[in-house]
Structure 1
């Protein structure tokens, strides 16, 4: 986990400078209850909400998206399916500059007109898949995504610290300014970091959730338990398998670049741009949650080496490797 950093409104540095922190005397200590901006870990909750509708027979996994969104004419022409959205095989490009649109009407029209940039069936990781899935779910159920996540996942599981923002007390993310950011927003704390999610009001299929380590531990244990936690049941075991079995629905499977040695026997998880990651390993009945604010005070080039090393440490610990073998 990472240091929460500064409060809001901090500015400074020239165009070529870095993000600015408050003096160390004003830093906010991190606690076990500190919420973090989950970034793309939000996609896992959107995926669970979709599979809940599949389990109930309301959503067809191989149905065409146009069956639910007939006004989205571009994906209608290409026959894009729900499964393709969940497996990032729709061919849609990674993102659109929704943050640059004048209003929600313009943002919606941009999504409706967006055609696949690659042949359908080709893997291209894309935020647009989860944004389209959000529209499918909201059109299908008549409920907004934040309500679906609350009613179907977080409230039944007692995850009281997990919600879409704003989230007072969350770890700070970025002193968001050009040229490194896409918009000028100043120091972000408790507001979603992702620019498109921010432009969409903070509730988006690809980003927007805040949570704590404790709450995510409950989420992971629920998946490892086959969809149940205590007296709550959010999915049946066969539909949890649908999420976690290769190739995964929303979840990435056996990706050593962020799982380390947890990868290889069906581990599933995801990463988030702000510095978060989550892995569930059914082979060892183990999960790993990593929360950090590595975009604070500004985003920079990096990698997932710390994530992979954490996964390797956990894997070796649960598989009985001695301490001298840990990296």
Structure 2
């Protein structure tokens, strides 16, 4: 069973701090948080995004955080702490953790093949792939695949998904297609829709009350692209086109959330609260250096020398990301709408790298309250 979160410090503590607050004391200005806010404010002025929210901490919780900008270039209101960002592919590790919880329950196994769960699918490469290879992006599933361009409805899309060609199994190649299949496997194994499963296994137990599949209230959502395909500004509905065609919660994209909520998830993972110890070690990549559901350290090219060899993370196309560094008991979350008003914005990768460098450079932590 997962570790008892109250069994040891600091995992029994869930501390938090307000934007630009000091880890050293209430009311003091935190120079590191201010430096991060200044970095993001300058990036906004340069057109990298209209809004960004961030947080960083440890297994004890959020230690510093901040936010800048407005929900869109047309909406002048400053974003609040409850602004919802389209998490895009940061959905993937959350769906992966949901699936791993089902493995913990004995409903699935890491060597379960997709075809064993989706028994009505034809015998094709995707049905022969096992869950472990899909979770580690080593199944041979193809990389970016815009099935939405030629398949306008769910049935046609799933038929195309089932017949995808695989190449070079065992080689790391990032694939959304594999995670769409994983979401379907989780649903078939339980008889529940994916949004209910994610809520039951992850967001409700961790009090991630703001994290949910869209659509969400547009008034609280941060805008993404002024999309030529849809002919409108996307705000409150999923940006990913493959997810749009699927028309239901999917395993690769579609969750909305806040930096605070992702901090709750990161703290729980650092504490080992979600998974049994053996599966927790596998999730962290203890077996072969490949974390389950996450990008390994070498694929997180935006991380500098201040991160350990076992650090891992995940980014999303919209400008989102979460990084965990277990050897340093730290995590970092940056959410932005870098594709607003269009996906042609420049400079965001440099901003992301600078964000992590600033926070990794200063690992000052606040003492747990009480």
TM above 0.5: yes
Q: What is the correspondence of 1:1-327 to structure 2 with a 5 Å cutoff?
A: 1=52, 3-6=69-72, 21-22=73-74, 26-75=75-124, 79-94=128-143, 95-98=145-148, 100-116=150-166, 118-168=167-217, 169-177=220-228, 183-227=229-273, 234-245=274-285, 246-255=289-298, 256-300=300-344, 302=346, 304-318=349-363
Residues of 2 paired with 1:78 and 1:273: CA distance? 27
Residues of 2 paired with 1:44 and 1:252: CA distance? 9
SS at 2:338 equivalent? coil
Shift of 1:319: 7.9
Shift of 1:5: 3.3
SS at 1:279 equivalent? strand
Contact 2:114 2:126 in 1 (8 A): no
Shift in CA distance, 171/211, structure 1 to aligned 2, threshold 3 Å: same
Shift of 1:27: 2.0
Unaligned runs of 5+ in 2: 1-51, 53-67, 366-370
Contact 2:295 2:314 in 1 (8 A): yes
Residues of 2 paired with 1:31 and 1:159: CA distance? 17
Unaligned runs of 5+ in 1: 7-20, 178-182, 228-233, 321-327
Shift of 1:77: 7.9
Shift of 1:63: 2.4
Residues of 2 paired with 1:44 and 1:257: CA distance? 18
SS at 1:60 equivalent? coil
Q: Which has the higher contact order (CA 8 A, sep 6+)?
A: 2
Contact 2:154 2:247 in 1 (8 A): no
Shift in CA distance, 27/315, structure 1 to aligned 2, threshold 3 Å: same
Shift of 1:301: 5.6
SS at 1:299 equivalent? coil
SS at 1:291 equivalent? strand
1:324 equivalent in structure 2: none
Residues of 1 paired with 2:354 and 2:279: CA distance? 30
Tell which deviates more after alignment, 158-167 or 184-193. 184-193
SS at 2:225 equivalent? strand
Aligned-residue CA RMSD in angstroms? 2.0
Shift in CA distance, 319/158, structure 1 to aligned 2, threshold 3 Å: closer
